[in-house]
């Protein structure tokens, strides 16, 4: 049974995230799945599930095709929101901040770690663009399989990643009778964190 007592106060939100993520990773099949919400320049929001591929004391990293809809929105408006929901633990973490691009070295290293078919798929897919038929994608994939027959599949120039630099974290823990425990961390001008509670 998940623990429904309030979480003890931790002054570093990255440390708290790592604790919660480790618990989730031991119980949830896709603990690194997160909702990534962006907004177009006219304010229209969009959201999708992506996989977290790295976290350090700077931020949270995910990878994508830089010609995709989400990338276009992030290039125009770098503000982003992430949401992790771990049902078995009755917890969620909300993160808001802005993105920066990862380095070419980081993108190269992660791309090389992917299965070959995923690397070929990055070449074959015009992500977010209209597709007339599944057969078109399959033919494009076959063409790139022929072009790169071995394990050496280079990273496409339009494929890279973003690091979300948090301005705030909210840690939400389910409590009985919907009297949930919510802890908010907000980045201060000196780079520290202000910590407070929110009504459920």
pTM attached to this predicted model: 0.91
Q: Sign of the C-alpha dihedral, residues 132, 133, 135, 140? A: positive
Beta strands in the chain (DSSP E): 33-39, 45-51, 54-55, 60-65, 79-86, 91-101, 159-173, 181-187, 193-198
Tell me the C-alpha distance between 76 and 69, whole Å.
11
Binning pLDDT at 50, 70 and 90, where does residue 31 land? very high
How is domain 13-116+157-198 classified at the architecture level of CATH?
A: Roll (2.30)
Question: Residue 180's CB: how many other CB atoms inside 10 A?
Answer: 18
Q: How far apart are CA 61 and CA 50, in angstroms?
A: 10
- For the chain, the structural domain boundaries read 13-116+157-198
Percent of the chain with pLDDT over 70: 96
CB burial of residue 34 (10 Å; 0-12, 13-18, 19+): buried
pLDDT value for 10: 82
Both tokens assigned to 6:
């309030």
Q: What amino acid positions are annotated as catalytic residues?
A: 178
Q: Give pLDDT tens digits for 97-155.
A: 999 999 999 999 999 999 999 999 999 999 889 999 999 999 999 999 999 999 999 99
Distance CA 170, CA 94 (A): 5
Which pLDDT belongs to residue 9? 74
């Amino acid at each position: 049974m998940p623990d429904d007592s309030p979480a003890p106060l931790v002054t570093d939100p990255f440390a708290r995230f790592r604790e919660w993520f480790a618990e989730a990773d031991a119980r949830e099949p896709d603990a690194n799945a997160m909702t990534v919400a962006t907004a177009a320049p006219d304010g229209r929001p969009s959201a999708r599930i992506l996989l977290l591929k790295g976290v350090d004391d700077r931020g949270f990293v995910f990878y994508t095709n830089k010609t995709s809809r989400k990338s276009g929105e992030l290039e125009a408006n770098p503000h982003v929101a992430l949401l992790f929901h771990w049902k078995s633990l009755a917890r969620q973490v909300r993160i808001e901040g802005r993105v920066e691009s990862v380095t070419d070295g980081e993108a190269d290293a992660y791309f090389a770690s992917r299965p070959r078919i995923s690397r070929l798929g990055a070449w074959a897919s015009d992500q977010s663009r209209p597709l007339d038929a599944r057969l078109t994608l399959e033919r494009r994939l076959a063409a790139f399989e022929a072009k790169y027959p071995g394990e050496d599949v280079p990273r496409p120039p339009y494929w890279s990643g973003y690091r979300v630099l948090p301005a705030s974290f909210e840690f939400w823990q389910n409590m009985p009778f919907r009297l949930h425990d919510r802890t908010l961390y907000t980045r201060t001008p000196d780079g520290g964190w202000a910590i407070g509670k929110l009504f459920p």
